[in-house]
Structure 1
Amino acid sequence: MENRPNPIIIQDFITESGASYHSIPLSFTLSGQPLFSAPVILVNHALTGNAVVTGENGWWNDLIGEGKTIDTGVYTILAFDIPGNGSNDYIVENPHDFTARDIARIFIEGLNVLKIQQLFAIIGGSVGGGIAWEILALEPNITEHLIPIASDWKSTDWLIANCFLQEQILNNSSRPIEDARIHAMLCYRSPESFKEKFKRTINQDLLIFNIESWLAHHGKKLQQRYQLSSYKLMNQLLKTIDITRNSENFENLLSKSKASIHIIGINSDLFFTAKENKETFVELKKFKDNVFYSEIDSIHGHDAFLIEYKQLDYLLADIFKAETIKK
């Protein structure tokens, strides 16, 4: 059962860019075992996600729950809402004040307030995985396991370019959330995924291609549940993942950490490409032994980390000592 205590208030926070915030509410959920009675897993949400990770409305309830891979009967599950993600009334007026590292710093402060000194694992997909990398770079021994999925330690030029286009749409479109979402879906899926799903078929009611009606539906659906300020903020965070910015180099940063790093790529990911993930793995292996790379095999692109839960279950089972789902 999800438990949502009162938000933690982060006082007098100064962002990397020098912006000053008197107080930032940090909402969170706790589920599974009571705090301090079991190993703690921090779950970081993706762009339109939130801290509700398990239970009826949990966005990762295929993976997290009673008897699931990440078993709420064994672990304490902690998830923070990225402040400004729309989970409460808090709005970030200027998204450019924040970077992914700022959010990592806020999450670390949240852990300190909760008196959590050691995590069993930090796991996150997409921008949530990027924030997980940033946490490890700031606190090298805060966790036993780092599990970034469909993610990386830096935003590539390709990713930054897509975020730039998203920002243009969000600032200039007359239907910003809908139009930005339509573009984003082209990055979250893949040409093969669309081909298998739609086969150039026509929606006979609307007399347009089914791919067009599907994209329009996704745009409308997000517009109904998401705030423009939240989208702008999350897009800014996605663009600013880089553990080495204004910091030490990659090897210096990560050689300080004893954590096992389990990189999970997706072979069809157009956003955080498998090639980039493999290069990160090769770099890490030069100076660190407990690094692992595995891959989800899917035509569905970046979103496969939310779709291919049986494969993800299989890849994570060893870490969490779970029984794998029967294929």
Structure 2
Amino acid sequence: MEAPLHILTTTYQPATAPALSVDVSYRVWGQPLGTAPLAVFCHTLTSNSLLAGPRGWWNKLVGEGLAVDLRHWSVLCLDVPGNGAVGTPSADHLPWFNALETAEIFDAVLLALHLKRVEVLLGASVGGGVALHMAALSPERYEKVIVVASDYRSSDWLVSHCQVQEALLQHPVDPIGKARAHAMLSYRSMEGINNRFKDQYSATGSRASLEWLDYHGQSLKLKMQLDAYRRMNHVLRTIDVPFAALVQSHAQYFHIATASDGLFSFERSLNLHRLLLQSKVQSEFLQLESPHGHDGFLIENQKMHEFLKPLFTYE
């Protein structure tokens, strides 16, 4: 069953601008809020609050009897304002929010919903950066913070990718298709792509790998608006969590990283884990073995199940 979409209007006060009224959409999966342990999920760049169910982007891991068992958990998944999901409020009249501002808006939503305590906060990819900002904003709210294929700061490499993405998204011809094709080369690894296609050609005489790139570009155009893609790319390039704020958190951190990740560096994830330990913060590092690069956490379902199941224990 698909969880209904809810919309909550909250007031957001930017640092140097008048207050804004922001409509934030979200879905609650599993048990009603307040009746079960609570997990808050921050979605990836091209996804949204449609987390579980038949069309859910993580429905192999979130559902009844799965790693995140919806028979025992309430899972709140918030839509980044302007992410372009069908049915979500338009953000055309709003400024582009960076990662910190997105976290501040999410924090306001949690307060409006009277959710003072969250057992698990999980963010994947760009959502991991937003989740770390949230942990820094409210250090006493979260028991566990799970960061999947992400980091607390956008690296030079990541910002450079985002710069190329923005240039492609301003191209007058097929901007989403071009940007998505480029993005797939950072979401996947050289080894993964080479091993998958093995220099093969399709029946039309084209490289199978090039047809795959074109397929992803055309598919994204059907579900994501140009303005939404640019907004999410902006969030991705602006992750910058003050480390001093992170170490104030009472949460236990869990980092899931892949050595083949070419977008969010494995070494940087490991370094954050080590820095937290040096600061006497509870932290655990989990290495996901995958040849598929950044998207490994979306592909290696069995391995991710083994990681997440113990973290979503329940009484």
Q: TM-score, normalised by structure 1?
A: 0.92
Which residue in 1 is equivalent to 2:30? 32
Q: CA deviation at 1:309?
A: 1.3
Letter in 1 for 2:302: K
Alignment of 1:166-245 (within 5 A): 166-205=165-204, 207-244=205-242
2:164 counterpart of 1:165: yes
Q: Which secondary structure state, in structure 2, belongs to the residue aligned with residue 79 of structure 1?
A: strand
Which residue in 1 is equivalent to 2:133? 134
Q: TM-score, normalised by structure 2?
A: 0.95
Counterpart CA distance in 2 for 1:20 and 1:309 is 44
Letter in 1 for 2:235: L
Q: Which runs of 5+ in 1 are unaligned?
A: 245-249, 323-327
Deviations 1:151-178 (A, max 9, x none): 0111000000000000011112411000
Deviations 1:168-215 (A, max 9, x none): 11112411000000000000000001111100111122x211111110
Which residue in 1 is equivalent to 2:89? 90
Q: CA deviation at 1:315?
A: 1.3
The percent identity for this pair of structures is: 35
Q: Which secondary structure state, in structure 2, belongs to the residue aligned with residue 51 of structure 1?
A: coil
> Runs of 4 or more off by more than 6 Å in structure 1?
none
Deviates more, 1:23-32 or 1:226-235: 23-32
Q: 1:216/1:117 Cα in 2 relative to 1: closer, same or farther (>3 Å)?
A: same
Which residue in 1 is equivalent to 2:61? 63
Which residue in 2 is equivalent to 1:247? none
Deviates more, 1:284-293 or 1:86-95: 86-95
Q: 1:30/1:261 Cα in 2 relative to 1: closer, same or farther (>3 Å)?
A: same
Counterpart CA distance in 2 for 1:153 and 1:274 is 13
Deviations 1:2-46 (A, max 9, x none): 4325300013x2334x34463211111011112111110001110
Cα RMSD, aligned residues only: 1.6
Deviations 1:136-158 (A, max 9, x none): 01111111000010001110000
Q: 1:271 aligns with which of 240, 256, 263?
A: 263
Which residue in 1 is equivalent to 2:10? 10
Letter in 2 for 1:222: L
2:129 counterpart of 1:113: no
Counterpart CA distance in 2 for 1:97 and 1:208 is 39
2:308 counterpart of 1:316: yes
Q: CA deviation at 1:290?
A: 1.6
Count of aligned pairs between the two proteins: 313
Q: Which runs of 5+ in 2 are unaligned?
A: none
Counterpart CA distance in 1 for 2:311 and 2:130 is 20
Deviations 1:67-114 (A, max 9, x none): 111110111011011110112363334886421011101111111111
Q: CA deviation at 1:258?
A: 1.4
Counterpart CA distance in 2 for 1:259 and 1:166 is 34
Counterpart CA distance in 1 for 2:18 and 2:203 is 54
Q: 1:225/1:214 Cα in 2 relative to 1: closer, same or farther (>3 Å)?
A: same
Q: Which secondary structure state, in structure 2, belongs to the residue aligned with residue 165 of structure 1?
A: helix
Which residue in 2 is equivalent to 1:325? none
